[in-house]
Structure 1
């Protein structure tokens, strides 16, 4: 009875409640310090992982540069090209603010491709002039006076000065088409990676590996963006550089959404989800547009190729019966 009375006494109950309260306070404070230490360990692991990724990316870039050393030497160390460009100040004559940007959109980076492009713009008219002059004077205009061949050759040389620009634009168009076709799938893959718990750097790296089978150009741009996200202090510059290099409005809009999410602290997954839905709708509208333009495009082939064959098949038996052996007009 003394033990029961002790358990039910007011002093004992107050002592027990005080002990439980003190234990709860100690546990709460200890858990807070434990969480902080765990957070520090997690931040330390993230920093170590980022450093490891940076080292791997640097090693990969060095290895690729060593493997392609001969190609880069051929494109960057053309001494005679650089000498011609510097001697005639071709960069002031042919290059503007958009030239280097267009070369980057075509996949040519560095000063070597710029020197080669300026040299080709300078040399191509003279080469086209000589080739056309020799060809015309020996073939089509061999019976005409020489000044006629010279005049035509000058015109061809003037047109040839725009040949490097046309080839560059063609290269940009093909590269943008490849990136545009794979961009919607790229957004879906990136959304899956982000929602699975990956960081944006890991998402770019993973998607670059997966999307390479569909678009090598897009995989190259994403790999370069991954390197910039690891090296640059500000992610905004990496996102802006990707939009500039591709030159596509869809890519720019997604990069703008990522910049705003990083700036204001909103959900990256939500932004990617909205942009992925818009990308799928845009691709569906593009497919519907092509399907709607198909009947007018088929009108001319239908008239030229199908209708004559159809008339021949329908009219041939009647014509043979009329004009053939034993026919009405043949017998008459």
Structure 2
């Protein structure tokens, strides 16, 4: 029985390794054109901003504002309201994290809340069915129940982990392309373009390097065109990205427009600072590489070298004796 279990475990690990290898090879061919899809979404976001600001102008900013948010599905809203959890996971900090992950609509907030409510119950039911009906291990019932509860607890935090992962990937993409975007913006401004035209041109050109940054710059262009206070547009992109480099540039642009400082000078200084920050981060990663390679070399490279060097000697020794 013990040998059979070891063989099953080895077969399972082999199958996982084969599937992972196939996915690694096929993944580049399965990727979609994310740039076109994101730009279409941003275009609709820009149209919503335009309609919202026009509605506010027509109503004089008084009560009776028209809500242009895309409403979530009725089933999700009913479940969230029944558990009275509408405001439990949708505080200001959570909404900021959702925006930084690229989820800006109200339906995204409701879906996140719905996932955190339903996830533990669904995980508990699935784990109970799998453990007590399909698997049926020889452990005590309390141990099996504890494993099911532990899986349900993990399902409760799974949306947070997913949100954090998407947010980190989005911020990493923006950070890599941000110094290049500033260089392009500096060229546009020094050639005589306004800030709106410069951001629009940079959003078009930077899309091949970072779809996320192109999306944010397109939304910034729309807000600069339609919002009454340009400072709000600069602050919004700082909140949506959550990056100090972006926040510093937007603060400089706000001060340049307030005090009449040339935009080219401010952008040139911030572009150099962000370029140096990116170089410093790369050097930091390079300096941390040798300690990280020590353990893999000890575990994988050195045994292979010993086998190649000492293997023939050992075979010759055992055949002669």
TM-score, length basis structure 2: 0.75
Q: Is the 1:205–1:223 Cα contact (8 Å) retained in structure 2?
A: yes
Q: Is this contact kept in 1: 2:203–2:213, CA < 8 A? A: yes
Residues 60 and 159 from structure 1, CA distance in 2 versus in 1: closer, same or farther, beyond 3 angstroms? closer
Which residue is 1:61 aligned to?
A: 47
Trace 1:21-100 onto structure 2 (pairs within 5 A): 61=47, 76-100=71-95
C-alpha distance in 2 between matches for 1:172 and 1:59? 20
For residues 62-101 of structure 1, the C-alpha deviation after alignment (integer angstroms, 9 at most, x for no partner) is 7xx9xxxxxxxxx734111111222322123222221111
Q: Deviations over 1:169-219 (max 9, x none)?
A: 111111111111111111110011011111000000000000111111110
Distance 1:146 1:301, change over 3 A: closer
Residue 169 of structure 1 aligns with which residue?
A: 164
- Contact 2:98–2:109 (8 Å) recurs in 1: yes
1:121 match: 116
Change (3 A) 1:149 1:317: closer
1:321–1:121 Cα change, 3 Å: closer
Task: Tell me if 1:210 matches 2:196.
Answer: no
Q: Secondary structure at the match of 1:76?
A: coil
The residue number in structure 1 matching 2:180 is 185
Report if aligned partners of 1:211, 1:218 keep a CA contact under 8 Å in 2: yes
Q: CA deviation at 1:150?
A: 3.3
* More displaced stretch, 236-245 vs 149-158: 149-158
How far the C-alpha of 1:149 sits from its partner, in A, is: 3.4
Distance in 2 (CA, whole Å) between partners of 1:211 and 1:109 is: 21
Q: Name which structure has the greater RCO, CA cutoff 8 Å, separation 6+.
A: 2
Task: Assess, with a 3 A threshold, how the Cα gap between structure 1 residues 59 and 82 changes in structure 2: closer, same or farther.
Answer: closer
> Is residue 112 from structure 1 mapped to residue 104 from structure 2 by the alignment?
no
Indicate the residue corresponding to 1:154 in structure 2: 149
Please list the CA deviations of residues 245-284 of structure 1 after superposition, one character each: whole Å capped at 9, or x if unmatched. 0001110011111111111111110011011111111111
Q: Is the 8 A contact 1:141 1:148 kept in 2?
A: no
2:208 is paired with a residue of what secondary structure?
A: coil
Q: Does structure 1 residue 220 correspond to structure 2 residue 220?
A: no
Cα 1:156/1:314, change in 2 over 3 Å = closer
Number of the residue aligned with 2:302: 307
Q: 2:252 matched to 1:268? A: no
| Gap runs ≥5 in structure 2 | 1-42, 52-69
Is the contact made by 2:123 and 2:151 (CA closer than 8 Å) also made in structure 1? Answer: yes
How far residue 148 of structure 1 moved from its aligned partner, in angstroms, is 4.4
Give aligned pairs, total. Answer: 259
- Which TM-score applies when normalising by structure 1? 0.73
Q: Alpha-carbon deviation of 1:128?
A: 0.2
Q: Which runs of 5+ in 1 are unaligned?
A: 1-56, 66-74
Distance in 2 between the 1:198 and 1:177 partners? 29
Q: CA deviation at 1:304?
A: 1.8
Alignment check: 8 A CA contact 2:72 2:110 kept: no
Shift of 1:144: 4.9
What's the counterpart of residue 283 of structure 1? 278
Aligned-pair RMSD on alpha carbons?
2.2
Name the counterpart of 1:195.
Answer: 190
Question: Is it true that 1:234 corresponds to 2:240 in the alignment?
Answer: no
